[in-house]
Structure 1
């Protein structure tokens, strides 16, 4: 069965209007371009745990991304879980600048992938599988190493970036 037959035609604007009601965390997917040796990265709001045994994570990236092919070719990347206040990092890595890392603090992970300073955690991964996801590629990755820090997450909701507020309702 092809992806086109899985659901009826839904207007993209209507799809976006409904889905924007679901908040997501914001993650930076970063690697080193194997051709240039320079850091490359992108932002996803679709990052999630997939399996504990084996340790797998997943996210999707648009097929029009110019950064994903570089990351995919490298075979490995680091996921930085962005913290509240890192909107500037999100904007820089979402942009089209030649050097997205010019104004971002980062260091190499133990496996040599760029990880963003001040993030809530980082996860070094290797690409396990890339699957057809319509106008996106669904990436499944094997977790190689990870660390966490304290703080509040950067959240994307309703077209806006911000922090998480705990509900006062019981």
Structure 2
């Protein structure tokens, strides 16, 4: 069965580029979850972490997840080089984790409570869920890299409400009446 025809606007020649400020202003309307990506360098024992708002499920079989990172990230190359990483979905009230992992510096995890995974990577304590992963694939995506990761192990955390980022602010989920 073929796909139905889709009505498209008339070709005007060249599409106008979307200005980054416009893109950012419109995308602020999309609420996102907040995830901490953390790893341990097996050679030095140094721990690395970063925050993403682009984490998503990709596939159940095989179990794959995805997120994206800016090409200019200084944390991602260190995390990717470690061979494995842990992803912690942050809970309401864990804004301090975002602040710590978004700061410049070498030991971003020092002020945080975390537990070590079976692969030696930090999992943020109190998170809603965690995933232990290995890098499966990197794809180019404009000014970002799209990361595809294989899930080795995963589990729910302590429950509660997710930390949500929306309109430049942190908040939480509240069920509608």
In the superposition, the TM-score normalised over structure 1's length comes to 0.92
Q: Tell me the equivalent position of 2:108.
A: 100
Ranges of 4+ aligned residues in structure 1 off by more than 3 Å: none
Give the conservation status (yes or no) of the 8 Å contact 1:41–1:67.
yes
Q: Tell me the equivalent position of 2:38.
A: 30
Give the conservation status (yes or no) of the 8 Å contact 1:79–1:123.
yes
Q: Tell me the equivalent position of 2:170.
A: 161
Farther-moved stretch of structure 1 (29-38 vs 55-64): 29-38
**5+ long unaligned stretches in structure 2:** 1-14
Deviation sequence 1:43-102 (CA, Å, 0-9, x none):
000000000001000000011111100111112100000000000001111111322112
Deviation sequence 1:20-65 (CA, Å, 0-9, x none):
0000000000001345321101000000000000100000001111
Give the conservation status (yes or no) of the 8 Å contact 1:34–1:73.
no
Separation (CA, whole Å) in 1 of partners of 2:64 and 2:49: 20
Give the conservation status (yes or no) of the 8 Å contact 1:75–1:126.
yes
**5+ long unaligned stretches in structure 1:** 1-6
Give the conservation status (yes or no) of the 8 Å contact 2:39–2:79.
yes
Q: Tell me the equivalent position of 1:66.
A: 74
Matches within 5 A, 1:12-27: 12-27=20-35
In the superposition, the TM-score normalised over structure 2's length comes to 0.88
Q: Tell me the equivalent position of 2:134.
A: 126
Q: Which of 37, 52, 63 is the matching residue for 1:44?
A: 52
Does 2:85 match 1:84?
Answer: no
Separation (CA, whole Å) in 2 of partners of 1:75 and 1:130: 13
Paired residues, number: 163
Q: Which of 19, 38, 55 is the matching residue for 1:11?
A: 19
Deviation sequence 1:118-168 (CA, Å, 0-9, x none):
101110000000010111100000000001021110000000011112222
Q: Tell me the equivalent position of 1:135.
A: 143
